[in-house]
Structures are given as structure tokens and as C-alpha cells.
Amino acid sequence: MKEHYHGHRNRLKKRFSKEPESLYDYEVLELLLGYVLRGRDVKPQAKELLERAGSLSAILGYDTKNIKGLGEEAQMFFGAIREFFARLGYEDIDREAVIIDKPEKAAQFLKYKIAYDKKEHFVALFLDVNKKLLGFENLFKGTVDRLAVYPREIAERAITSKATHVIVAHNHPSGNMSPSETDITLTDKLIKALAALDINLADHIIITTKGFYSFKREQVI
């Protein structure tokens, strides 16, 4: 005998096929989870995950293992979705020569890499003289309100990468895009540390799920 949720899921699929916008957010999530956790009623997990994460987009940075019944497969699934969107963000750039010469391109590249995390990440993009991407590194990871960043280490990585320009960026899990005094002080230290090595700090970007702040665009540097 088929479980009750099989009929429910089929009805969801039919509704989605005819009118996808009619589904509630948790129902869309339920459909997705149904492909990961087959043969199970995942409606309770879908509702709880959405409630705990706060929004559909926030799920991309939420640890699904906190939800009873969701394990490594669900975590891997949403990680793959996040990487999928990250690649969509810069697929129009020539993969043989990723040029990041504008704040918008840097933010586009970084959004799905760090914007959705609940902890702060400090990353660096290393570029050659033509702003071609030489490397990307997630250098430091901290709590929501505390992140230790070491300019000397960033300078060393830039030398190793043979970079002419460096773009640094970090996320603000709070969603506030405004730079703090600490952000401004750190930027000044990085400018000096890199300039001593004839390396240019091209930008410092603060990124959130809603947008970004560019020190270069705002003429802070």
C-alpha cells in the first residue's frame, strides 16, 4: 500500500507543472527535498528548515544537519545548488581568462561563495597586470562578530601568486553592507603592506545576500 505522501507529492508536482507560482515556499522546498530523500514524507523537514533558516536564500548557508531527518545528503544537495548558482554568476566570463576589472564582476564572482554563510569569511582574489584572475583563496574564517585577518599573510600569498593586483572581500552575515571602523583600518593596513611590495590593493568588497559595498566605487581607497 502506498504511503499517504505519495499522493500528496504527485499533487504538488501537478500544481508545479501547471502553476509553479501557486506553491508556497515550503512546498517548493518539499519538492526539492523529495528528490534527495526518496520514499519519505519531507513536508515537516521542509517547514522546519525554512523556519529555522529564515528564507529560501538563507538555506544555502544553513547547516541542514541541525534538522532531524536531514543529513549529509541534504547538505551536499544544497551545497551543489549553491555552487551551481556561483558558476552561473560568472559563466559569461571567458573561463580561459577571467577578467575582474570592475566591482560588479568581483561581487558577481563572490556572492554565492561567501554571502550566504553565517560566519564571516575573508577572501582574496589575486590578479595579474591585466586584472586576469590568477587565484582565489578563502583565507580566514571567524564568528559572526569577530574575524582575525593578517595583512602579512595576504601579502605573502600575493607574492606566491605573482599578483600585481589584489581584491579582498568579506561577508557581513548581518546583511549590513556598511564598513565598520575595523574594516576601514584593516583596508589601510593592507594598502600599505601590499604597496611596500609594489602590489596594488584594487578593492575591498563587503558582500551580503542583498548587495555589496565597494571601497573603490565609494572612493574610500
Last residue of a domain, one of 60, 87, 114: 87
- List of residues 6+ apart from 205 with CB closer than 8 A: 103, 106, 107, 110, 167, 168, 169, 170, 212, 213, 214, 215
- Can you point out the beta strands (E) in the chain? 121-127, 133-141, 165-171, 200-207, 212-214
Task: Number of helices (H) and strands (E) in the chain: give both, helices first.
Answer: 7, 5
Asked if 73 and 116 sit in the same domain, the reply is no
- What's the pLDDT score for residue 144? 47
Count: domains in the chain: 2
In a domain, 181, yes or no: yes
- Is 156 inside any structural domain? yes
Domain assignment of residue 136, yes or no? yes
Supply the pLDDT for residue 58: 84
Cα within 13 Å of Cα(101), Cβ side: 9
The answer on 178 and 102 residing in a single domain is: yes
Q: Domain check: are 8 and 60 in the same one?
A: yes
Contact present, 46 and 33 (Cβ < 8 Å): yes
- Is 219 part of a structural domain of the chain? no
Domain final residue, candidates 61, 87, 113: 87
pLDDT at 50: 92
The pTM for the full model equals 0.71
pLDDT at 117: 87
The per-residue pLDDT for 6 is: 63
pLDDT computed for residue 89 by the predictor? 65
141 and 183 part of one domain = yes
Domain hosting residue 8, numbered range: 4-87
Low-confidence ranges of the chain (pLDDT < 50): 1-2, 94, 144
pLDDT score for 1: 40
Q: What's residue 9's pLDDT?
A: 83
Q: Which among 87, 113, 137 is the end of a domain?
A: 87
pLDDT tens-digit readout, 78-120: 989 988 887 776 665 545 668 899 999 999 889 888 998 888 9
- 80 and 101 co-located in one domain: no
